[in-house]
Structure 1
Amino acid sequence: MRRIVLSAVFVLRLAAAVDRGRLLRAVGLMTVGYLATPVIALGLREFTEAALARRLEVATWVIGGVAVLLVLELMLGHFAHLSYFEVGELAETTLNEELVRHVNGSPGLERLDDPAFADNVNLVREELGNTRTAVESVLQLGGLALQTALTTVVLVTLDPRLALLPLAALPSVLVGRWAQNLLESAKEASAENTRRTRHLLALATAPASIKEIRLFHAEAALLREQDANWSRTSAVLRRAHLRAAALRAAGQLVFALAYGGAITLVLWQAEQGRAGVGDVILVITLAVQVSVQVAGAATLLTGLQGVGRTLDRLTSLRDHGSG
């Protein structure tokens, strides 16, 4: 979690440095949009109660307000995207320039012959493109945290036990971090084979080397070597992805059980006359929202954890160069 927090702080500082105005505009638009989501659920409850009571004028006004909020939520998200996407591109450009400086900052060529240094550069180069969406991820995580807090407050007003529903998301988040660690370890373990595979592919397609390959009839040997390296890489990554998928499924199962428990609780209260039909609609709507929030947060945290690894590798290149 420490790496994720440090990554988020770094990304926000970098975004503010490249374009503070666009960043603040995106934050403002996304905050309003994310707060609209739980309010929509409250509006659906009021609409249901008004419709059942045949208060048609109230029901019409409420559903009209819900429609406006839905449109507002979509529009604000779109306009926020226009701002943070540009900030993300500027941030990626800045990090690419830093990578170029670290790789070419040494007067000698000794580092370029170091396999560990070459593997690190290859990993950073492959993953650096993901930092473009890091600004979006940090802002969306902040919005989801705000949204989840408001959703929890609304659930507590119905029944304090419903506050456990958002907490049931924690196993999914923690397991997601574990799964990402497995994937990152697999990438590091296969970095050398990946680098060799790409080198052989470049060698087999570069005009300068094709003539020599044909002259010495090395096509078959080159293809066998490339296939062997790629097969080893694929085997390592495949096992890691399968294990990561199983872990994430286990985390989602915990939340699914909590989801079913929340719905069962409010249905039981409705049967006892302690909750109305509108309350049932509200809990079902909020439970679906929490489910979406959990899935979104797990994905975003996984992405930020990967960005943290990339930033660590970039720092390692910087230290390597200064040493």
Structure 2
Amino acid sequence: MATLSTDIVGTSRSRLLLPLLATLMIIGWSSGFVGIRYASEEASVAVLLFWRTLLSGIILLPFALAFGPRIRLSAVLPQMAFGVMAVFIYLGGFALAIEQRVPTGLVALISDLVPLAMAALSQPLLGERLSGRQWLGTAIAVTGVLIVSFDSLSFGAAPLWAYGLTIGSMLVFAVASVLRRGKASLNMPVHQSLCIHSLTGAVLFGICGLYQGGLEPPLTREFAIGMVWLVLLATFLAYAVYYTMLRLYTVAQVSAAIYLSPPVTMLWAWMLFSEPLTPAMFIGLAVTLVGVWLTSRG
């Protein structure tokens, strides 16, 4: 009887873990907008991303050295390659596209299609075949994202390569995420791997910032608030929970939660910056929730 009770409690906890982790990831993922909104007013994108990744890496470094297995060079190199893909190319690519006048709404929409690319790549790279229910849920979730993003969509007058960069950055992050789940060499404790990824990004963003003119941060309250948001929520919370979920669940289950990022981002904008909420947002949120539920249940 005691064993049966323990099994029931363990099953209940395991069922609650996925929605709990997904909720934390969505909060962290969508909060990046808040940090960028605060910090980008007085600093270039390269400076903003340099300080975001540098501070994240420095804060994590003592914990990475003191806790967990000894970090060896053979384990660091694959993590650095992943950091180039998931931090430098992903974050830097979208930032550069926005600087080249690709409309922010279009960039956000393409970035929010990461789960669709991950779902498509998971079968050939990992052998994780999506069921019919999961493909249906994916299609519904994408429809919800389109509804949420429709009001802010425009195509602008950016150079053609900038649009390609946006799509390429999204695909690189999707490939990196799928490879992380499939390669045992990347299964380092989360705080250690995130430290290496952040410091790798800091070096590369630092080079870009120096090329553009300097890395000195603006000493303003807004920039400081933005860094707190970007480091604590958009980096520590979002990436740490995301990496943990990739270990525990299928790619389809992990990626489905990302579809909820656009409507949650709009809630952040409404609460902190008084941006209006539209009926399309609530309709899109409802449609997306149905799609995420179907995908995660598959």
TM-score using structure 2 length: 0.31
Structure (1/2) with the larger helix percentage: 1
Larger Rg: 1
Higher RCO (Cα < 8 Å, 6 or more apart):
2
TM-score using structure 1 length: 0.29
